[in-house]
Amino acid sequence: SAVISQKPSRDICQRGTSLTIQCQVDSQVTMMFWYRQQPGQSLTLIATANQGSEATYESGFVIDKFPISRPNLTFSTLTVSNMSPEDSSIYLCSVRDSPQETQYFGPGTRLLVL
């Protein structure tokens, strides 16, 4: 399986600011995804990061709030913009090991917005 790293691992931010989370994979992967896991909740897919094109967002998530980049097959960033306390969550990068469709998760970024 691919080795996935995320930076930062955790952060405490003030409301109104933005944070960019980086996801690095040790090998090229077909698909990369960003999930959110709010306290005590399951995983919610934010978007699929598409290499060389705009991300595909799920219902309830918009590009202005969660801009995503994917410049190559091993790296992606998620920005949480104009943060509010409701954005406090764990943000997880995930990759798909095509073609078996097995999907693996990075260690997560724990965000607290004050």
- Return the range that interacts with other proteins (CB under 8 A); candidates 20-28, 60-68, 70-78, 89-97: 89-97
Applying CB under 8 A, the span of 15-23, 64-72, 75-83, 95-103 interacting with other proteins comes to 95-103
CA distance 79 to 68: 6
Using DSSP's 3-state secondary structure scheme, residue 90 falls into strand
Strands (E), the chain: 4-7, 10-13, 19-25, 31-37, 43-49, 56-57, 68-72, 75-80, 89-97, 102-105, 109-113
Minimum CB distance to other proteins smaller for 9 or for 84: 9
Of the two residues 44 and 81, which places its CB atom closer to other proteins in the complex? 44
107 is a contact residue toward other proteins (CB under 8 A):
yes
Which residues here bind other proteins, judged by CB under 8 A? 1, 33, 41-43, 45, 48, 90, 92, 94, 100-108
